[in-house]
Amino acid sequence: MNSRERLRRAYFHEEMDRPGVYSRTNYPPDDPSYDKLKAYLGAHSELKRGWSSQGLETSFPVKTYTEPVSEDFERRVSVLHTPAGDFRASQMISLKGHPGLSETYLIKTREDAERYLSLPLPEIGGDVSSFFGADREIGERGIVDVSLGVNPAGSVATMLGSETLAIMSKTDRDIVHALCERQMTIKINKLKFLLSHKVGPFFSTAGHEYLAPPLHSPKDFCDFNVRYDKPIIDLIHNAGGRVHIHCHGSLNQVLDGFIDMGTDVLHPIEAPPMGDIRAAEAKEVARGKLCMEGNIQIAAMYEHTPQQVREETRALIEDAFDDHGGLIVSPTASPYIRGAGEECFPQYKAMIDAVLQWKG
């Protein structure tokens, strides 16, 4: 069974010859220490080629400028110019190669949200031929993953920020619903365009963790994630496609919600202490309905020995592949420590080799 067929079976909940094995690949930029790992993943793991649909939406002009802050950070200010007025957001950008930090957000009040809702929906269109080129290029080695970007509720969270969203979900719940509905409509319009041009069948989205435990209640997860994702996923399923969702967090109380909205593959389903559900427990809920992608903690790739990672991988397979389906072994995130590619390579190799050598 080649990698393309193995991933297809995983996404469609069919029996597999062995678990899939895969890693996200947002490496530290310009870091040759990861060259050996890239080569090994390319030769021995299942591959997914990302294809973004972001450029298909028209948008209002955004002006960006930077301001000095300190020797460690600068402030990047983005100004969204619209007929309803300007919206501003700012980020602290590390000058030392570290992660940035959102400082202020586009929507700060109910009045801001109402102004944003008055804007016309973006038009959808553009050239999608590069998708078919990517699909031909990856061939039997894997699939092309069509990114739909952040889901409706996650998009709203990135415009409001976690604190304002939490407050408005109590004081102005109607406006949060209106924002989610607008984002859902945009996603559906874009998806209809993609499907009409035969793009697919493998789609992905993320952002659900913004409205999931512990930040939000299971009720909020249902009201804002399930409610506005399900029509999008139904459209994909009706066209014969499948959906991958990436979501960190404590998913024990909302795993049924992912299944209800129609999730086909869920990454990374973390065990304690990073999450709150173990692989065997998740399998009992997901069996035959949802493929688990995970859940080797990314820290293990840098902190554990190869033998430990090999044993963790074998235990994961034992817990989640007893039915010969529904599992893609994967770290919980991309390799991320600059300059540590050689350090983590033996652990990645141990994980991959444990899957390739599995006999069930």
How would you class 7 by CB atoms within 10 Å of its CB: exposed for 0-12, middle for 13-18, buried for 19 or more? buried
- List the structure tokens of 312: 């963790």
DSSP 195-232: HHTT--SEEEEE-GGGGSTTTS-HHHIIIIIIHHHHHH
Domain boundaries, the chain: 3-58+122-356, 59-107
Over residues 282-339, the pLDDT tens digits come to 999 999 999 999 999 999 999 999 999 999 999 999 999 999 999 999 999 999 999 9
Over residues 174-197, the pLDDT tens digits come to 999 999 999 999 999 999 999 999
Over residues 271-283, the pLDDT tens digits come to 999 999 999 999 9
Stated as kind and residue range, the H or E segment containing 269 is none
The 3-state DSSP class for residue 47 equals strand
CA distances from 276 to 76, 213, 227, 279, 317 (A): 36, 10, 24, 10, 19
Q: Answer whether residue 117 shows pLDDT above 80.
A: yes
Over residues 254-274, the mean pLDDT reads 97
Over residues 156-167, the mean pLDDT reads 96
**Dist. CA 49–CA 354, nearest whole Å:** 24
CB atoms within 10 A of CB 198: 11
Please give the share of the chain, as a percent, with pLDDT higher than 70.
Answer: 100
Over residues 333-357, the mean pLDDT reads 97
Position 271 scores a pLDDT of 94
Over residues 95-124, the mean pLDDT reads 93
Position 158 scores a pLDDT of 96
Amino acid at 171: T
CATH class of this structure's domain 3-58+122-356: alpha beta
How many DSSP H helices and E strands does the chain contain?
A: 14, 12
Q: Is 10 left (phi over 0), alpha (psi -120 to 50) or beta?
A: alpha
**Dist. CA 294–CA 23, nearest whole Å:** 9
- Locate all alpha helices (DSSP H) within the chain, ordered by sequence: 3-11, 35-44, 110-117, 129-138, 152-160, 162-171, 173-196, 218-220, 227-238, 255-261, 279-286, 300-303, 306-320, 341-356
Question: pLDDT-based confidence at 98, cuts 50/70/90?
Answer: confident
Question: pLDDT-based confidence at 148, cuts 50/70/90?
Answer: very high
CB atoms within 10 A of CB 228: 25
Over residues 49-94, the pLDDT tens digits come to 999 998 899 989 999 999 999 999 999 999 999 999 999 999 999 9
Backbone angles phi and psi of 327, in degrees to 5? -145, 125
Per-residue buried b or exposed e for 257-281, using 16+ beta carbons within 10 Å of the residue's own CB: bbbebbbbbbbbbbbeeebbbbbee
Position 234 scores a pLDDT of 98
- List the structure tokens of 271: 């065990």
Tell me 17's DSSP state.
Answer: S
Would you say 348 and 334 are in contact if contact means Cβ atoms under 8 Å apart?
Answer: no
The 3-state DSSP class for residue 102 equals strand
**Dist. CA 16–CA 166, nearest whole Å:** 42
Position 124 scores a pLDDT of 97
Q: Answer whether residue 97 shows pLDDT above 80.
A: no
CA distances from 66 to 61, 96, 147, 178 (A): 17, 16, 29, 32
- Predicted structure pTM score: 0.95
Question: pLDDT-based confidence at 253, cuts 50/70/90?
Answer: very high
Position 96 scores a pLDDT of 83
Average per-residue pLDDT for the chain: 96
